[in-house]
Structure 1
Amino acid sequence: MTEFGVTQEGFVLKGLDAILGDAKARAGQMWATLGLQPDLSATSPLLKLIEATAQEDAELWKRLQDFYYSAFVSTSTGDALDLLGDDVGLVRRDAFATGAVTLTLTGGLSGRTYIVPEGTILLAPTRGQSFATLAAAELTTDVTERSVDVRAFTRGTDGDVPLGTITAIDPAYRAVYLADFGPADVTVTNEHELSGGDGREDDDTYRGRQLGISRTLWTSEAVGQAVLDIDGVIDVLLSDPLGGVDVSQSFFNEFSFGERLFSAERRIGEPYTFDLVVAHDFRWPWRTTGSVPGVYERVAEVADRVRPAGVHPNIVEADHIDVGVRARVIVERGYDEAALSTAIRARLTDTLGGDLRLGTAVLYSKVMRAIVEVPGVVDVQRLHLRRYPPAFGRITFGEVPHQTTVVDAAVGQNLLMGPTELPVFRSDAALHDLELVTA
């Protein structure tokens, strides 16, 4: 006999066929007590009434199933997921406002290309809001205008600014990254209003945050969860070998930290620290730049709320490793090679860029698949994965060899990352070397 409803295996839905079968059986039993045989043929009015009520009962069972699964984070959706978030003090976040701006070059020199990099900080002075460009823009005296997508740095409707509001590049950003423009200048304007700030975080993202939330305060998981909740932070690695934060360590409360360290005398007044390695979206500045608060300062503020007294974080920026490809790509006839090259770069960034975390290897097979799936690509030959490390020697979680040039992996070889290295795919990276050949 099949069990329906709440069982040890979960909720078993009673389908329309089972409901209809039970109703017909009960009708037969009821009429049998009267010594009659009911007409349950296809044209019977009695059967039509039974089918109508069975349809209503089937919908009720569906509602019961939804209600049952709404009590679990892994299966809940919509308003029910919001209620579960309220129980643990984790609310659904607002979305980022998005839109486009027009960058215009003035006073440029003939023959020179001016590049406004991805992640350039733009300002809406009258609204006090900051925005980041989502793509690089190349400007010349022949092509003086480019439209670039932008996204607000802060969530919510404050980023929904009207047209003509975004009018400048952040002076602090310009002084550091656009100082070589010389007499040239770049003006900014948004010809359309920005929107989307009134949206809410999608169920999958919100559910992932709830599943990963720590229920304890003074643990490494609690610190990691608090830091990962910061906008712009991609991944975090916490090293606490002496157990100052993680009270679940086996030797916690078995050592007198006030008298001696494990290997040497403890100096009076010397703080205890743990290492916090943070990988962030490159569009967010590591240190406060102009009007945009830096990742370092925001991480320090959040970690300070969950750290134990006398235990302080040593916040370190992860090594962001630029990753590119060198390959011979066979393409179909009739495709524009420049547009196809751009599509391949964008495909690599969209497909692989969002899945990479600290220490994650870049898999050769995934890169090959991402390129082959681009419309117009027939085959990929002599594919090499490439990397260029921007910095080494700042973190001591294992040895990483110092390299000063671009490293090409052999054909078929994955790119292995150190525990504090984050691979980064960028569509405008100079590491990409694609030779397109028509089939």
Structure 2
Amino acid sequence: MASGDDIIIGAAELKQLEDMVRRSGDNGNYGLTDAGFVPKPYIQLLREGFATASAVLGADVDLAPGSALRKIIEVNAVELARTHALIAGIVDDMTVAGARGPALSRLGEELGVQRPFMRATGSVRLTLNENLATLLIPRGARMTSSAANRHVFTLSDVDLGAASKAVTVQVAAFFPGVTGNLDPANAAEKIALWNDGYDPSDPGGDKLAALRTAALTVGKTMEEVVTIDHTAPLAGGDQRWPDERYRELLLRMPRSVWTPDAIQAAVSLVPGVRQAIVRDRDGGIDIEQSIFGDFNFLERLFAAERDIFGKASFSILVAPEDGAIWGGPGNLLEQVLEAVEDLRPIGVLPEIRPAIATPFHVRGQIYVRGLPLPTGSSATVNQSTAALAFKQRLVARMNSYVSALAINDSVRLAKLEYQLMSDPNVIDVQDIEILQHGSATQGATAVGLGLGKNLRVPADSVAVLADSIDSLTLVSAA
């Protein structure tokens, strides 16, 4: 805050301020405007205080630095500035676009959407008990408690084998809320089993295929091949969504019951749904048809004729999150059907399909500074504990961008480079390239798109970032 002694008002400006004070005091630039409530800054309030004193007490009033009247005006301007800031906050909290904290939560409750809970996170230790060269457990592999009523999934790929037979991996509770704060001291909450609930229709593929094959080969259970040690409680399930994520949800919420937006909002809140698109075939023009823009209005229809014998009148395309299981009792498909049951019109049933995963990974050279990396060959540096932890952090940064992409959204290479450069230890990135996998299978052949090329995601598909730790090369910068 500037000192009042620094304020010097010329005769012409003083006359203008006096006229402004006599008229309204704000000259239309502050208070309630088209842009919302604009609070008066301290300097403006101080200038108006000087002008008011001159208008009331005369032009010869002593407003020089150090005068008693000037000090009173300065103290009053501070209090008025605080009042204006308070009013601005109150006005902002009256709308979803500007509200924060508890005010935003109250507005959400009025719309019938309470602020959702976050997922609890923690770690488990996986130990390979067989002499295998390598055993890959991909990100999203599900584990459960002994009672099969608590579910978690891995947040990164785990490569067990000759190099490391015991790895600690980060996991997240599948269902948000305090029930995800799993305490291993409670036998009912201790994670001990692999969830072998694979369904052939699962768009994420069989994440436990390698582990199941290894177990069948040696004639043991999957838990005997790879032991799950859950020793530390998961935490964070009692935390609520941050303001910006919750605000985005509320702004998308429809104000009516039966609309595609209402269905999409309800589906997006189902645990395990990353993105969803609702298509109402009979609700408007079908812009996806090849004839759109080339209609003969006297002879052709805007869209396909209605199938009066079909039971599905609208479709829902769902992109599952990591760890989601599509088919089977209580899994994602059933939960989505349950979410739309009370919103759909009577007799109008949805067709629910999983989005096709378009997996890719990123390779390139990352120049870093300030990390405790060992000296030696590039392989020695990049396989060190510090390097692996740092590359996991970089992959998490890129995944924060990719996981927010909608169905059919392309992956922008510049956005990935921005996420990498946002890390304080990264000083440069070079030869960054996207490699697209041949299928959703983790081990499928990857094809480089070329430097500077974006990844175009096909129709009804969603981009999925595969593990890129081994393809990112760290280079220590002097």
Q: State the TM-score, normalizing by the size of structure 2.
A: 0.73
For the residues of structure 1 that align with 2:472 and 2:55, how far apart are their CA atoms? 76
CA contact (8 A) 2:281 2:313 kept: no
Amino acid across the alignment from 1:317 = P
Match of 2:126 in 1: 103
The unaligned stretches of length 5 or more in structure 2 are 1-19, 21-26, 199-205, 287-302
Are 1:338 and 2:359 counterparts?
A: no
Counterpart of 2:192 (choices 168, 174, 177) is 168
Identity value in percent: 26
The Cα shift of 1:414 comes to 2.3
The Cα shift of 1:114 comes to 2.7
Are 1:304 and 2:341 counterparts?
A: yes
Deviations 1:54-83 (A, max 9, x none): 211110110011111111211110111112
CA contact (8 A) 1:349 1:426 kept: no
CA contact (8 A) 1:384 1:410 kept: yes
Counterpart of 1:347 (choices 387, 390, 394) is 394
Match of 1:271 in 2: 311
Match of 2:214 in 1: 181
SS of match in other structure, 2:144: strand
User: Which region of structure 1 is more displaced relative to structure 2, 420-429 or 205-214?
Assistant: 420-429
Counterpart of 1:26 (choices 31, 44, 52) is 52
Are 1:76 and 2:99 counterparts?
A: yes
CA contact (8 A) 1:245 1:307 kept: no
For the residues of structure 2 that align with 1:303 and 1:28, how far apart are their CA atoms? 67
SS of match in other structure, 2:46: helix
The Cα shift of 1:151 comes to 1.2
The Cα shift of 1:126 comes to 6.8
Amino acid across the alignment from 2:397 = D
For the residues of structure 2 that align with 1:202 and 1:331, how far apart are their CA atoms? 31
Equivalenced residues, count: 400
Are 1:408 and 2:453 counterparts?
A: no
User: Which region of structure 1 is more displaced relative to structure 2, 215-224 or 134-143?
Assistant: 134-143
Match of 1:282 in 2: 322
Residues 121 and 434 (structure 1), Cα distance of their counterparts in 2 relative to 1, 3 Å cut: closer
The unaligned stretches of length 5 or more in structure 1 are 247-260, 392-403
Q: Runs ≥4 in structure 1, deviation > 6 angstroms?
A: 328-333, 435-439
CA contact (8 A) 1:409 1:415 kept: yes
Amino acid across the alignment from 2:124 = V
For the residues of structure 2 that align with 1:146 and 1:316, how far apart are their CA atoms? 35
Match of 2:177 in 1: 156
Residues 425 and 29 (structure 1), Cα distance of their counterparts in 2 relative to 1, 3 Å cut: same
CA contact (8 A) 1:92 1:206 kept: yes
Q: State the TM-score, normalizing by the size of structure 1.
A: 0.79
For the residues of structure 2 that align with 1:435 and 1:99, how far apart are their CA atoms? 28
Deviations 1:171-207 (A, max 9, x none): 5349954312324522223332222122111100110
CA contact (8 A) 1:344 1:371 kept: no
Match of 1:116 in 2: 137
SS of match in other structure, 1:210: helix
Residues 20 and 240 (structure 1), Cα distance of their counterparts in 2 relative to 1, 3 Å cut: same
SS of match in other structure, 1:155: coil
